[in-house]
């Protein structure tokens, strides 16, 4: 009996480091979808005699990406924690107003404006996080409520555009380095920071744990409230950066920015990017792909001059189709069947602890199963 | 009653790591544990047995730091110890593997093992070290089939359990308690666990082992402690007690045969349910018949397609090929709803996830199917529920109690009541006695006999071979999504196992020979692992 562990396993050990380790993860799928959509878009535009990849179109695509990108990166943190933030649109609007009114056209007050806008945003995130983790209010309701409060404040306080962004800071909205807008470079920096946070730091690891199973996280000694609060602060900060960017583009702050739909669009981008709405799995790279997909759709609709109403119909249909596709992949019976076969065949009455593990399963089973769920 | 006697074996002379004295616990005025004295010694596998409700889980949770005792004291290495939280217990070297896994399915093995204490370098998680340490730990335990990068959700239940144990070992646990670790495992997976448990014991880890399966208690454990109604009634060396006496001590009454005999008046009647060449993506070429008054068992390894047949019959994952005959009439069962209408019932494998609305009351759960499928007559038909519940000996203070607070055995009785009230003529039982105590098991067996006497056809899916052999009129054995063969009532367990694993197949032996060749890393040739029995023989 005591020989069981040592006898049956070494064979399987030799294949675990094999080629199946390189599998197409869900992020890979999302980028495939992006490439597909870009190809189709290019084809459609070419059929009308245009070029999808013209300088103008690319610039439009990238500037669309950067605005939603900041908000969606933030949204990724909270959704990973099995939370949600519906107040981001109001945070974007509020921080644009705070920036514009604080700077008031004075170049020397740029930094003050930036700091003030981000501080307001972080404050909102802190409130969201505290209400959700300490008062145990469902995130949907909590952020909806906080969003409404901000909306009421903005509607009474700011009638029409307010404040003025100095020329120097408007560069954040318009300047390019080569073909690349500065805002996209800032987005890339934020993205890298986010990726490092999630994949290389304890707070990031703990966000996955909190979203995956909060009881498991708590039993492992993770201070789950902190993870949730941190995610919400980061989310609002990202929305604050988006607010700065929009203020720079408009040259002023505007409350009506909250009607642009950043809340639901950012959630759509995150989900399109393969992050589970139920938390615990996802990535920022996936979210960026989701944003690029939405931005490509916008661009191609613009170029093809699709009516704005039909645009929304198409966008909604594509989002549903994509998420339905992910869901199908999760319950694909063929992949689990392959695994069963491998298990049933390879395990004797008490083989080694490797019984049916991915290391010993047939190649199809691992790729199929691991990419799902 | 009996004072804890010195456990047998070499461990008797060793000082205990954990010493409990007079532990008591009161819940809402109910005393659930009284005066428990327990010594756990290094290198000992200590079984904790008793019927559900005897207090085993509470005692485990006290040791794990989930509950704090209301009376008595705990000593760890001779020093008084209190565990304020599971984490505190774990850091002190006392780890617990609960039935509900504390794992994150979306994360890798390494991320799970080091959850909450990821190694860092300059504030950045040292992913490489985490992987290296996990792989070293796995290798050290001889678990070559698992690797640090594998996603836990892609592992089998047995492997996930092993990851839990590895996590415990990574905390340098000196006591690992396991709450029914084999409850969700098929027989061949149990062996994996045995091997690991024995290896840990040989390293001087103390194992506290809660189980309902007598066989594994006698195979694995050095010492047995019996709890009954919150009292410790016996601590003995395994060698000093027989299974019969242990069962008597646990239930406190004579057990006239563990399995009820078939009433000689029950003879199989007309064919109730027949599958002919049925198949879908999961199973293929299934031919089977179940007659009225007959119990047909579906045996086989986990994942061999037994549950998939149940799902096919019940319309959850319908068959796409072949024919299904009910009372000789061809039927298409495309949904569970149709199955219920046709008089088919399915008692699912996972009663918590698929059988019960845990936050609802006993009566609400018992009415679930009636309300959903026959809403107009459900009030009238639901009047039968109290009678059914009492015939099942459901022990509960109130019919309004939420089922999540019932013991496993009582939960299963609620599931059975839910189906019995629909008056089915075909019942598929998927692992009906998993994780329930002996008393409730007996009730399930009695019920099966009663139902067949009334002419109900029963398809029994079970991983417990003694149950299969004792209860079934015929045994069908599955392998790889197909029927591997049929055995008559009373066949021995080895014959079932041989069919289930294909141990008798010559082709399998060829594969075993192949696997003896060394295959270099990254090679495209992936030989199947040898069947365990063969390997052992080679070793001998």
The structure tokens 């939280």 sit at B85
Residues of A in contact with B502 (CB under 8 A): 345
- Residues B202, A5: contact at Cβ < 8 Å? no
Does residue A19 sit within a domain? Answer: no
- Residues B404, B359: contact at Cβ < 8 Å? yes
A12 → closest Cβ in B144, B151, B317: B144
> How far apart are the C-alpha atoms of B178 and B169, rounded to whole Å?
13
Mean pLDDT of B211-224: 85
Residues of A in contact with B147 (CB under 8 A): 16-17, 359
Distances (CA, A) of A79 to A215, A232, A244, A255, A302: 17, 10, 23, 26, 30
Q: What is the pLDDT of residue B516?
A: 30
Residues of B in contact with A222 (CB under 8 A): 115-116
Bigger pLDDT: B3 or A233?
A: A233
Q: What is the ipTM of this complex?
A: 0.78
Q: What is the dihedral of CA B408, B409, B412, B413, to 10 degrees?
A: -140
B188 → closest Cβ in A10, A16, A350: A350
* Contact check, Cβ <8 Å, A339/B302: no
DSSP type of residue A116: H
Across B101-136, b (16+ Cβ under 10 Å) vs e yields bbbbbbbbbbbbbbbbebeeeeeebbbeebbebbbe
Bigger pLDDT: B325 or B264?
A: B325
Q: State the CB neighbour count (10 A cutoff) for residue B51.
A: 22
Q: Using a CB–CB cutoff of 8 Å, tell me whether A22 touches chain B.
A: no
A12 → closest Cβ in B523, B529, B539: B529
Q: Using a CB–CB cutoff of 8 Å, tell me whether A308 touches chain B.
A: no
Residues of A in contact with B303 (CB under 8 A): 339-340, 343-344, 356
B159 → closest Cβ in A349, A357, A369: A357
Query: What tokens does A169 get?
Result: 């800071």
Q: How far apart are the first and last CA of chain A?
A: 36
- Residues B64, B89: contact at Cβ < 8 Å? yes
* Contact check, Cβ <8 Å, A5/B87: no
When scoring B154, B187, B219, B534 by the number of chain A Cβ atoms within 10 A, the one with the most, hence best to mutate, is B154
Residue A20: closest C-alpha in chain B: B522
**Chain mean position to CA B349:** 10
Does residue A338 sit within a domain? Answer: no
- DSSP-derived 3-state class of residue A87: coil
- The three-state (H, E, C) secondary structure of B106-159, written as one string: CCEHHHHHCCCCCCEECCEECHHHHHHHHHHHHHHCCCCCCCCCCEHHHCCHHH
Residue A371: closest C-alpha in chain B: B154
A213 → closest Cβ in B104, B481, B501: B104
**Chain mean position to CA A60:** 20
Does residue A293 sit within a domain? Answer: yes
Residue B127: closest C-alpha in chain A: A200
Structural domain tally of chain A?
A: 1
Could you give the domains of chain B? 10-93+173-251 (3.40.50.300), 101-159 (no CATH), 271-501 (3.40.50.300), 506-539 (no CATH)
Helical H segments across A81-135, by residue range? 88-103, 110-133
Q: Quote the percentage of chain B above a pLDDT of 70.
A: 87
Angle at B85 between CA B122 and CA A229, to 5 degrees: 50
> How far apart are the C-alpha atoms of A88 and A110, rounded to whole Å?
23
Least confident of B292-301, B345-354, B396-405: B396-405
Averaged pLDDT score across all residues of chain A: 82
> How far apart are the C-alpha atoms of B151 and A92, rounded to whole Å?
37
Residue A197: closest C-alpha in chain B: B124
Distance from CA of A291 to the nearest CA of B (A): 23
> How far apart are the C-alpha atoms of A199 and A190, rounded to whole Å?
14
Give the full edge-to-edge strand order of the sheet including B206-210: B94-97, B175-179, B206-210, B45-49, B223-228, B231-237
> Which of A295, A302, A294, A272 is closest to A285 using CA atoms?
A272
Q: What is the pLDDT of residues B432-473, one digit of tens each?
A: 988 787 788 888 999 999 999 999 999 999 887 788 888 999
Q: What is the pLDDT of residue A345?
A: 32
Residue A352: closest C-alpha in chain B: B192
Residue B230 in this model has a pLDDT that exceeds 70: yes
Distance from CA of B147 to the nearest CA of A (A): 7
Q: What is the pLDDT of residues A192-224, one digit of tens each?
A: 999 999 999 999 999 999 999 999 999 888 999
Does residue A28 sit within a domain? Answer: no
Best-predicted range by mean pLDDT (A207-211, A270-274, B357-361, B374-378): A207-211
Residues of B in contact with A193 (CB under 8 A): none
B501 → closest Cβ in A334, A349, A353: A349
Does residue A7 sit within a domain? Answer: no
Residues of A in contact with B304 (CB under 8 A): 340, 344
Does residue A174 sit within a domain? Answer: yes
Q: What is the pLDDT of residue A329?
A: 63
* Contact check, Cβ <8 Å, A202/B125: yes
Q: Using a CB–CB cutoff of 8 Å, tell me whether A208 touches chain B.
A: yes
* Contact check, Cβ <8 Å, B143/A216: no
- Residues A99, A165: contact at Cβ < 8 Å? yes
Angle at A171 between CA A166 and CA A172, to 5 degrees: 105
Residue A336: closest C-alpha in chain B: B282
Q: What is the pLDDT of residues B35-47, one digit of tens each?
A: 999 999 999 999 9
* Contact check, Cβ <8 Å, B480/A362: no
Instruction: Print the domain residue range for A161.
Output: 63-329
- DSSP-derived 3-state class of residue B45: strand
> How far apart are the C-alpha atoms of B356 and B369, rounded to whole Å?
11
* Contact check, Cβ <8 Å, A350/B105: no
Bigger pLDDT: B489 or B12?
A: B489
Least confident of A89-103, A146-160, A316-330, B355-369: A316-330
Does residue A108 sit within a domain? Answer: yes
Residue A6 in this model has a pLDDT that exceeds 60: no
Global confidence as pTM: 0.71
When scoring A3, A6, A11, A371 by the number of chain B Cβ atoms within 10 A, the one with the most, hence best to mutate, is A11
Mean pLDDT of A52-56: 85
Query: What tokens does A8 get?
Result: 């049956």
Averaged pLDDT score across all residues of chain B: 83
What sign does the dihedral B358-B360-B365-B369 (CA atoms) show?
negative
- DSSP-derived 3-state class of residue B415: helix
Q: Using a CB–CB cutoff of 8 Å, tell me whether A219 touches chain B.
A: yes
* Contact check, Cβ <8 Å, A353/B192: yes
* Contact check, Cβ <8 Å, B188/A362: no
* Contact check, Cβ <8 Å, A220/B87: yes
Q: What is the pLDDT of residue B503?
A: 61
Q: Is B522 exposed, middle or buried (0-12, 13-18, 19+ CB in 10 A)?
A: exposed
Bigger pLDDT: A7 or B488?
A: B488
Query: A-B interface: how many C-beta pairs under 8 angstroms?
Result: 259
Residues of B in contact with A359 (CB under 8 A): 144-147, 150
When scoring B64, B106, B110, B155 by the number of chain A Cβ atoms within 10 A, the one with the most, hence best to mutate, is B106
Does residue A166 sit within a domain? Answer: yes
B145 → closest Cβ in A2, A276, A357: A357
Q: Quote the percentage of chain B above a pLDDT of 90.
A: 42
């Amino acid at each position: 009996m005591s020989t069981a562990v040592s006898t049956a396993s070494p064979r399987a050990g030799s294949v675990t480091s094999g080629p199946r380790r390189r599998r197409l993860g869900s992020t890979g799928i999302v980028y495939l979808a992006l490439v597909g959509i870009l190809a189709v878009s290019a084809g459609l535009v070419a059929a009308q005699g245009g070029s999808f990849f013209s300088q103008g179109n690319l610039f439009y695509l990238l500037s669309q990406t950067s605005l939603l990108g900041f908000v969606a990166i933030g949204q990724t943190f909270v959704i990973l924690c099995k939370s949600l933030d519906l107040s981001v649109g109001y945070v974007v609007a509020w921080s644009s107003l705070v920036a514009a009114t604080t700077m008031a056209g004075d170049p020397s007050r740029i930094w003050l404006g930036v700091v003030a806008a981000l501080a307001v945003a972080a404050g909102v995130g802190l409130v969201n996080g505290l209400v959700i983790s300490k008062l145990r209010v469902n995130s949907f309701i909590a952020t909806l409520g906080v969003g409404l409060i901000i909306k009421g404040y903005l509607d009474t306080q700011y009638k029409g555009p307010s404040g003025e962004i100095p020329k120097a800071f408007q560069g954040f909205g318009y300047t390019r380095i080569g073909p690349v807008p500065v805002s996209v470079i800032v987005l890339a920096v934020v993205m890298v920071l986010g990726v490092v946070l999630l994949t290389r730091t304890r707070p990031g690891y703990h966000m996955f744990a909190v979203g995956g199973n909060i009881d498991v996280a708590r039993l492992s000694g993770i201070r789950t409230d902190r993870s949730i609060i941190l995610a919400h602060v980061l989310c609002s900060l990202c929305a604050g950066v988006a607010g700065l960017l929009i203020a720079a583009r408009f040259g002023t702050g505007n409350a009506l920015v909250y009607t642009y739909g950043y809340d639901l669009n950012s959630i759509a981008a995150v989900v399109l990017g393969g992050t589970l709405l139920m938390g615990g799995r996802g990535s920022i790279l996936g979210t960026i792909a989701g944003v690029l997909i939405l931005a490509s759709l916008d661009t191609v609709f613009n170029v093809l001059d699709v009516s704005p109403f039909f645009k929304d119909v198409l966008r909604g249909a594509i989002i549903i189709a994509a998420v339905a596709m992910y869901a199908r992949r999760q319950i694909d019976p063929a992949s689990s069947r392959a695994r069963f076969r491998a298990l049933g065949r390879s395990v004797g009455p008490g083989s080694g602890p490797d019984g049916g593990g991915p290391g010993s399963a047939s190649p199809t089973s691992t790729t199929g199963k691991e990419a799902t769920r | 009653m009996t004072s804890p006697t010195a456990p047998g074996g070499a461990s008797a002379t060793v000082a205990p790591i954990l010493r409990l004295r007079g532990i008591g616990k009161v819940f809402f005025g109910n005393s659930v544990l009284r005066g428990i004295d327990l010594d756990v010694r290094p290198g000992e596998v200590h079984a904790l047995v008793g019927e559900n409700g005897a207090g085993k889980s509470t005692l485990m949770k006290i040791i794990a730091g989930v509950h704090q005792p209301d009376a008595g004291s705990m000593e760890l290495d001779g020093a008084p110890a209190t565990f304020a939280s599971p984490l505190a217990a774990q850091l002190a070297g006392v780890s617990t593997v609960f039935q509900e896994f504390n794992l994150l399915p979306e994360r890798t093995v390494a991320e799970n093992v080091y959850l909450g204490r990821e190694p860092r370098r300059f504030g950045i998680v040292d992913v490489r070290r985490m992987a290296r340490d996990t792989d070293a730990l796995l290798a050290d335990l001889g678990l070559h089939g698992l690797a640090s990068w594998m996603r836990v959700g892609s592992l089998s239940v047995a492997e996930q359990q092993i990851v839990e144990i590895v996590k415990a070992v990574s905390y340098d646990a000196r006591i690992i308690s396991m709450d029914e670790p084999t409850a969700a495992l098929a027989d061949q997976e149990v062996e994996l666990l045995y091997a690991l448990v024995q290896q840990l014991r040989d390293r001087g880890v103390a194992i506290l082992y809660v189980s309902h399966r007598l066989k594994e208690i006698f195979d694995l454990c050095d010492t047995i402690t019996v709890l009954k109604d919150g009292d410790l009634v016996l601590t003995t060396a395994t060698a000093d007690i027989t299974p019969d006496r242990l069962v008597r001590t646990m239930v406190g009454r004579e057990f006239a045969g563990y399995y009820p005999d078939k009433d000689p008046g029950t003879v199989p009647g007309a064919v109730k349910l027949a599958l002919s060449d049925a198949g879908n993506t999961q199973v293929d070429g299934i031919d089977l018949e179940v007659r009225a008054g007959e119990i047909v068992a579906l045996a086989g390894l986990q994942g061999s397609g037994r549950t998939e047949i149940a799902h096919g019959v019940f319309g959850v994952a319908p068959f796409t090929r072949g024919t299904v005959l009910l009372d000789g009439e061809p039927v298409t069962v495309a949904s569970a709803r149709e199955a219920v209408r046709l008089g088919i019932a399915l008692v699912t494998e996972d009663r918590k996830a698929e059988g019960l609305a845990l936050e609802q009351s006993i009566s609400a759960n018992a009415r679930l199917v009636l309300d959903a499928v026959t809403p107009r007559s459900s009030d009238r038909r639901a009047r039968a529920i109290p009678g059914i519940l009492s015939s099942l000996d459901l022990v509960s203070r109130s019919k309004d109690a939420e089922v999540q607070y019932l013991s496993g055995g009582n939960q299963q009785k609620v599931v059975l009541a839910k189906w019995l009230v629909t008056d089915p003529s075909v019942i598929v039982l998927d692992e009906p006695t998993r994780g329930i105590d002996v008393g409730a098991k007996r009730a399930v067996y009695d019920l099966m006999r009663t139902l067949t006497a009334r002419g109900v056809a029963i398809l029994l899916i079970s991983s417990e071979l003694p149950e299969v052999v004792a209860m079934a009129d015929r045994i069908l054995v599955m392998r790889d999504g197909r029927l591997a063969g049929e055995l008559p009532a009373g066949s021995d367990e080895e014959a079932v196992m041989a069919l289930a694993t294909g141990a008798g197949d010559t082709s399998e032996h060829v594969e075993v020979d192949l696997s003896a060749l060394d295959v270099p890393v990254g090679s495209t040739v992936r030989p199947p692992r040898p069947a365990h029995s063969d390997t052992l023989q080679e070793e001998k």
